[in-house]
Amino acid sequence: MIGGVRNWDYRYCWLRDATITLLALLDAGFTSEATAWREWLLRAVAGDPSQVQIMYGVGGERRLPEYEVPWLPGYEGSAPVRVGNGAVDQFQLDVYGEVLDALHVARMATDVDGHDDSWALQSKLMEFLETGWRKPDEGIWEVRGPRRDFVHSKVMAWVAVDRAVKGITEWGLPGPLDRWTALRTEIHNEVCARGFDPARNTFTQFYGSTELDAALLNIPLVGFLPATDPRAVGTVAAIERELVQDGFVLRYPTAEDGAVDGLPAGEGAFLACTFWLADNYALSGRVREAQELFERLLALRNDVGLLAEEYDPALGRLVGNFPQAFSHVPLVNTARTLTDALRGRPRSRTDRAYPPGHFFG
């Protein structure tokens, strides 16, 4: 981040970023990448499932200690310059959902033997999640404030259980179907009861909160609720009111006291979140608005078509990490979602059933 303390070392492999990239590749029919990624993942996360890290070195390194380098000024004064990333020690519950979702989709796309090692990994992760899903965490934005019961994190725990249930029902894999089905229902019911504000008709950032979080836009994208569900529609409306700035979406309110993320206020609009809003428009029938927003985002690309992590509407420039996979992958996903919607068959990534290699055309 230019000129601020939100400045982190990103030279590592985040499981979340890797899995969403894999899902986009699978959607385009690149199945060999799925096989290679599965092998890397099985090596990197070997061991106690409760000790799965949210990031690793590209060679699977686990020790990534963070320290500051005060003698370097940083790009355009982006200080402090940091090496390593302290978020490696965080608990981010949503990562389990991303990983189990990717393994499930990879199984469908590659038609691998259902009894491969990836199911053993899924089963071990589920053993942890049966109780671990209740733990508060640092969430998708890896906040450096106190752990919370982030709603998006609980939704992704539901995704993990849902994909495990489908492994049994759709692939005949071994597992406690009744127990996991009941767990899936329990998580869904709790999120809808504790993570939803009926007075404002919106999901909230964490249990008991009144704040919003753009990560909630993923609720329809992962199949937790349809985009047309009144609760999903209400959440989009609330985000439009409170998090959209100059046509782009902020991640969440950044308070001066750092109450949520432990950091000073102020950052640009997060491009991934704006793509997620376009996805919600497309899936809920607001196709023209989705197309207009998508085209506005495309117009931000530089001369070689690349995007950064954020955009500063006041300065009219890209800011943050560059280039950023967490912007480009949502671009690809929104292009696919919008294409389906323009053809009159809006589908989230969860609903797609194209054969490998079938993309757009």
Q: What is the pLDDT of residue 157?
A: 97
- Identify the band that residue 358 occupies on the pLDDT scale cut at 50, 70 and 90: very low
Scan for tokens 């939100």, then name that residue.
Answer: 6
- Residue 314, pLDDT > 90, answer no
3-state secondary structure of 202: strand
185-231 pLDDT, tens digit each: 999 999 999 999 999 999 999 999 999 999 999 999 999 999 999 99
Lowest mean per-residue pLDDT among 64-73, 108-117, 173-182 = 108-117
In the predicted structure, residue 6 carries a pLDDT above the cut 70: no
The model's confidence at residue 359, banded by pLDDT at 50, 70 and 90, is very low
pLDDT attached to residue 20: 84
Are 92 and 137 in contact by the 8 Å Cβ rule? The answer is yes
Query: Is residue 170's pLDDT more than 60?
Result: yes
More reliable by pLDDT, 239 or 170: 239
Question: What residues pair up with 14 in beta bridges, in sequence order?
Answer: 55
- Domains of the chain (ranges; CATH) run 1-194 (1.50.10.10), 197-361 (1.50.10.10)
Average pLDDT over residues 57-81: 82
- Distance separating alpha carbons of residues 232 and 265, to the nearest angstrom: 28
- What local confidence, expressed as pLDDT, does residue 260 receive? 55
Is the separation of the CB atoms in 221 and 334 below 8 Å? no
Reference 356, options 33, 19, 28, 107; nearest CA is 28
DSSP annotation of 77? G
What integer pLDDT is reported at residue 2 of this predicted model? 43
Reference 160, options 205, 117, 123; nearest CA is 123
Task: For residue 328, give Cα distances in angstroms to 301, 306, 357.
Answer: 10, 8, 20
Q: What whole-number distance in Å separates Cα of residue 167 and Cα of residue 127?
A: 15
What is the share, in percent, of the chain residues with pLDDT greater than 90?
A: 44
- The dihedrals phi and psi of 140, each to the nearest 5 degrees, come to -60, -30
Model confidence at 254: pLDDT above 80? no
Kind and range of the H or E run holding 29: none
More confident residue, 117 or 6: 117
- For residues 115, 118, 119, 121, the Cα torsion angle rounded to the nearest 10 degrees is 140
Return all residues near 70 (Cβ < 8 A) that are at least 6 apart. Answer: 79, 80, 81
Q: Which residues pair with 317 in a beta bridge?
A: 312
How sure is the predictor about 164, in pLDDT bands with cuts at 50, 70 and 90? very high
The phi and psi torsions of 128 (rounded to 5 degrees) equal -70, -45
User: Mean pLDDT for the chain?
Assistant: 84
Contact 96, 129 (CB under 8 A): yes
More confident residue, 269 or 156: 156
* Statement: residue 291 has pLDDT above 70: yes
What's the count of helices (H) and strands (E) in the chain, helices before strands?
A: 11, 11
Residue that has been written with the tokens 């955009």 in this structure: 311
pLDDT digits (tens, 9 = 90+) for 23-64: 888 888 888 877 787 778 777 777 676 777 888 887 778 888
Residue with tokens 């432990």: 262
The residues pairing with 56 across neighbouring beta strands, listed in sequence order, are 13
User: Could you tell me if 311 and 359 are in contact, meaning their C-beta atoms sit under 8 angstroms apart?
Assistant: no
What is the C-alpha to C-alpha distance for residues 64 and 229, in angstroms, rounded to an integer? 42
CA 24 – CA 349 distance, rounded (Å): 9
Mean pLDDT of 236-263: 77
pLDDT at 338: 92
Which pLDDT value is given to residue 356? 38
CA 261/CA 298 separation, integer angstroms: 29
Evaluate if residue 288 carries a pLDDT over 50: yes
pLDDT (average), residues 160-180: 94
pLDDT at 354: 39
Averaged over 177-187, what is the pLDDT?
Answer: 97
**Residue 264 predicted with pLDDT over 60:** no
Place of tokens 């989009």: 236
pLDDT above 90 for 91: no
Rounded Cα distance between 331 and 278, Å, is 10
Q: How far is CA 59 from CA 13, 48, 175, 190, 333, in A?
A: 9, 19, 32, 38, 27
Cα separation values, 53 from 67, 85, 153, 171, 220, Å: 19, 12, 15, 28, 26
